[in-house]
Amino acid sequence: MGWSRIVAGLSGFLLVGFVAAAEDPSCAWGGEVSTDAVNALFPENHAAYWAFVYTMRPGLHVRLSGEFPDSRFMSLSVYKGEGGAFSVNGVDSTLTDYEILPDAGTANPWRTAGAAPGTFTVDLVSSPVAGQANVLPLAPLDTPDGALGRLVLRVYLPAGGDWGTVPLPSVTIVDSSSEPLPDCSGVRLAADSPADIAAADPAPVGLLGDGEFVRPPADLGLLPNTDTGYLAVTMTPPTGDQVLVIRGRGPTSADGEHPAPWPRRGVDLRYWSLCNNLNNAQRSLVANPLADGTVDYGCRNDDETTLDRNGFYTYVVGTETQRPRIEALPDVTFVPWSAGRPNAQHILFLRDMLANSRFAEAIQNVTAINDADGARAVMRSYYPETAICDLSAVPCGCYQEIGPLSSK
């Protein structure tokens, strides 16, 4: 399957490569989006997404019966036709792990400390009731019969990094059968290699930030994670021996690959990361094949980010050739530019996922769009300051150019 076919299907997410939705779908979870499956839609190599596509009709009722995954994060989200979130009768179209009540006699490990992952039941109905547990709306109230609904299961950091251990919920069309649909999750959108992805023709999505991180428009991503706030900047890799340096205070976050009760006192975010993407049609993550057969992806999450003694991170974005020199610097974290398209425009994203209500400096609290000063005013020392520097000037001269972050 070529990229032109994938790109043509992205705005609908995604009958191309997924099981086409009939009035009663023949199977569930007919496609996976991840860097292991298809590198598209601004992915994280620490995350994977599975979709179930259905057709709206009177009386439709979809039931999910699942097991909580052993992972840092999971959520279930329903998206409207153009890909955005919505609500019906005050019921939002996303259920996040800690919001899901477990089945009787079992436990939700994001609600009960140390509990083994139990099971849950979630119902998708056309007109949910506010305050009712474990329900999601099938579609906005004005959605016509015959329109498509899209349910996405999103998981971050499964135990051991093994996506094969993530239990996909069984799906039952309640009004037509009491039997769960068969699982067709083995169907994938494409099997393109990282090198193939890096060689795709670029289709820029527009300039963001003019060299400084800003809150992007809400429609930049087709299937946004409603638990996540994003800052973004478009950049073309500098030439010669120059690098991009990004510095800011690192929020406290949950760690590891297992569930923990949420919210937690003293923990700012469930998860955060910096990711470097190619600004092309499929919105792909930088993925550089290495000589040892591994792939260096363009994301560094909270667990992979070095903080200095004052709690600040310093990302140095450079080439794989520059990597040994960068990683020899104190208290820095290397992030790669694309080796396959070294002159292409990139988009860097800083993600804050699931912010504690006490964390006033979270990206989620930034309301000004495409406004670096507005974001800086909210985030204070947590704002990611940027500078283009000669690698030989890192840290001394370059850090002076960025400024004394610890005093902000």
Domain 202-407 has CATH 1.10.3470: no
The predicted pLDDT at position 402 comes to 65
- Round to whole Å and give the CA distance between 151 and 242: 43
The predicted pLDDT at position 8 comes to 33
The predicted pLDDT at position 188 comes to 46
Task: Kindly report the pTM of this predicted structure.
Answer: 0.88
Q: Distances in Å between the alpha carbon of 278 and those of 34, 304, 346?
A: 15, 21, 4
**Same fold flag, 3-192 and 202-407:** yes
Identify the H or E element spanning 228. Answer: strand 228-235
Query: Which residue bears the tokens 């349910």?
Result: 151
Here the tokens at position 132 are 């009712």
* Positions of E strands within 236-290: 242-249, 269-278, 287-289
The predicted pLDDT at position 400 comes to 59
pLDDT tens, the chain, 408 aa long = 232 333 333 433 343 333 344 466 778 897 777 777 677 777 889 999 899 999 999 999 999 999 999 999 999 999 987 778 899 999 999 999 999 999 999 999 999 999 999 999 999 999 999 999 999 999 999 899 999 999 999 999 999 988 889 999 999 998 766 788 888 866 544 333 344 334 444 455 566 767 999 999 875 556 788 999 999 999 999 999 999 999 999 999 998 999 999 999 999 999 999 999 998 877 789 999 999 999 999 999 999 999 999 999 999 999 999 999 999 999 999 999 999 999 999 999 999 999 999 999 999 999 999 999 999 999 999 999 999 999 988 876 676 556 544 333
- Round to whole Å and give the CA distance between 392 and 373: 29
The predicted pLDDT at position 221 comes to 56
Those residues with Cβ within 8 angstroms of residue 282's Cβ, 6 or more apart along the chain or in another chain: 3, 6, 7, 10, 39, 40, 41, 197, 200
- Round to whole Å and give the CA distance between 244 and 237: 8
The predicted pLDDT at position 394 comes to 86
The predicted pLDDT at position 281 comes to 73
Which residue ranges make up each domain of the chain?
A: 3-192, 202-407
Domain 3-192 has CATH 1.25.40: no
